[in-house]
Amino acid sequence: MKNLILAIAFLPLLSCGKTKDNAAEAPTATETYTAADTTTASTTSSTIDTASANTTVVDGTATTTINEKAAAITEKTTPEAVVAAVAKTKTMVAESKMEAAAINHANWNSLLQKNVSKNGTVNYKGFQKDSKALSAYLSELAAAVPTKSWSRIATLAYWINAYNAYTVKLIIDNYPTKSIKDINDPWGKKFITLEGKKYSLEGIENEILRKMDEPRIHFAINCASVSCPNLLNEAYTESKLEQQLKTATKSFINDKSKNTITASKIEVSKIFDWFAGDFKSKGGVIDFLNQSSSTKISGNAQVTFKEYNWNLNE
């Protein structure tokens, strides 16, 4: 009879996501396998130990630590079962790390509270004074682009905040200016770098946000102009996103400076013209408006569109 001892050391598991402080450390797994050869049978004694996985999960304002330790598994089984057990342990730890994907938008929230009024007026001079704090937040965004492990809501919040924060960055880098349209190619310029990839504002809007089948994003992202939906003076977060989108949409639709609505005739923002296709999933523009409008609009109401005021929203 011949004894064979095989020791396999597993490399640390890679984190599925990144946290704000990158405090989470990947766990390790060690497997010991002993096989005894006989003429009639082959048995295996296996032990799998998985170390604690400490993961920081950020949900808007709260930080939670998950300590997940897999118990030692000792059993007589086949080599194939040993491999399966180790794989299951890896998956268990990886899934716990997925919860740590979303970043904390608290720094952006602080900047918005300080420099944006409740009615959406933006203090760009104030943002210029806080440019270091803004750059620090943009660095957070650049280090943690959403992955498949992120929830849909966390992903939406990330890209809405990214669009708005980089729009502010564009304005203060070119301030003073009377209009965002006075800046060369403001939406097409790829001046945004996130995890080494270049983005433009229109790329974030058209290639990412609009493809997420959420038409209310049009009332959350801000183009730094008077006729745009107001820049919310708080950051969009995973825990509050649904209510924030609902409030932003209702506020914009019922703002008489942005839309004039009667039962038989409406003169509404050009947004409903430019992006009419995005509202088809909700039955069309009138049906979408009726979900939030304080005035019930007839299905055959006359529809016209207001001129867009591109003056800076300061």
Phi–psi pair at 188, nearest 5 degrees: -90, -20
pLDDT at 109: 98
**In the predicted model, is pLDDT for residue 140 greater than 70?**
yes
The pLDDT value recorded for residue 88 is 66
Of the listed ranges 62-71, 175-184, 290-299, the one predicted with least confidence: 62-71
The pTM of this model reads 0.70
Distance CA 216, CA 245 (A): 6
pLDDT band for position 268 (50/70/90)?
very high
State pLDDT tens for residues 205-259.
999 999 999 999 999 999 999 999 999 999 999 999 999 999 999 999 999 999 9
Residue found under tokens 């983005």: 199
Distances from the Cα of 128 to the Cα of 52, 162, 217, 224, angstroms: 44, 18, 26, 15
Segment 149-162 shows an average pLDDT of 97
Q: Is the pLDDT of residue 74 over 70?
A: no
| pLDDT of 308 above 50 | yes
Per-residue model confidence (pLDDT) at position 77 = 55
Reported as a pLDDT band with limits 50, 70 and 90, residue 102 is confident
Predicted pLDDT of residue 80: 72
Query: For the chain, what percent of residues have pLDDT higher than 90?
Result: 66
Identity at 295, one-letter amino acid code: T
Determine which helix (DSSP H) or strand (DSSP E) holds 43, and give its type and residue range.
strand 42-50
Peptide bond into 146 cis (omega under 30): no
3-state secondary structure of 236: coil
Per the prediction, the chain carries an average pLDDT of: 80
Question: What percent of the chain has pLDDT above 70?
Answer: 68
pLDDT tens for each residue of 174-207: 999 999 999 999 999 999 999 999 999 999 999 9
pLDDT at 116 (0 to 100): 98
72 pLDDT more than 50: no
pLDDT of residue 54: 42
Q: Which residue type, as a one-letter code, is found at position 63?
A: T
* Local confidence band at 139 (pLDDT 50, 70, 90 cut-offs): very high
Gap between the Cα atoms of 73 and 176, Å rounded: 66
Q: DSSP 3-state assignment of 162?
A: helix
Does the pLDDT value for residue 107 go beyond 90? yes
Q: Tell me how far apart the alpha carbons of residues 147 and 158 are, in angstroms, rounded to a whole number.
A: 11
